[in-house]
Amino acid sequence: MRASSGDELIYVATHTESFSNQLCDLLLKIIEGAKDQMGEALSEFVLALGMSRIRLDADDKRRGLEKIEACRDQLPTIVVCIAQAIENGVVGSPRWEP
């Protein structure tokens, strides 16, 4: 995900809204799996969101971040920290470039 080009994983355009929703559903499943030691991809996924390598529709992004917050006690600290940085606008916005 981090190695993708800037435009490869953008799912916010109108014609890709369903892809954004599907990707958010996948993120929610990864979060659930992380609580049971099955979510190895979660750190990579959240880091890609923070680096703006994956861009989701605002509602889908919000759903994912809310789920991370709700499960924060069972998730790696780095995941929670990156999610909070995204939610606070520190990283993950179109204005921010790594």
In a domain, 93, yes or no: no
Q: Which amino acid is at 37?
A: Q
Q: What whole-number percentage of the chain has pLDDT above 70?
A: 70
Mean pLDDT of 44-66: 90
What pLDDT was estimated at residue 38? 61
62 in any annotated domain: yes
Q: Please state, in angstroms and rounded to a whole number, the distance separating the CA atoms of residues 89 and 25.
A: 22
Is the residue at 40 inside a domain?
yes
What's the confidence (pLDDT) of residue 3? 58
CA atoms within 13 A on the CB side of 15: 0
Average pLDDT over residues 36-64: 86
Could you tell me the residue range of the domain that residue 17 belongs to? 10-87
Residue 54 lies in a domain: yes
How far apart CA 46 and CA 31 sit, in angstroms, is: 10
In a domain, 5, yes or no: no
Total count of domains within the chain? 1
Structure tokens at 85: 């940085």
Q: Residue 26 domain-assigned?
A: yes
Give the Å distances, CA to CA, from 42 to 12, 15, 16, 35, 55: 20, 26, 22, 10, 15
Q: What is the reported pTM?
A: 0.76
pLDDT computed for residue 98 by the predictor: 40
Give the pLDDT score at 97: 44
Please tell me the distance from the alpha carbon of residue 82 to that of residue 79, in angstroms, as a whole number: 5
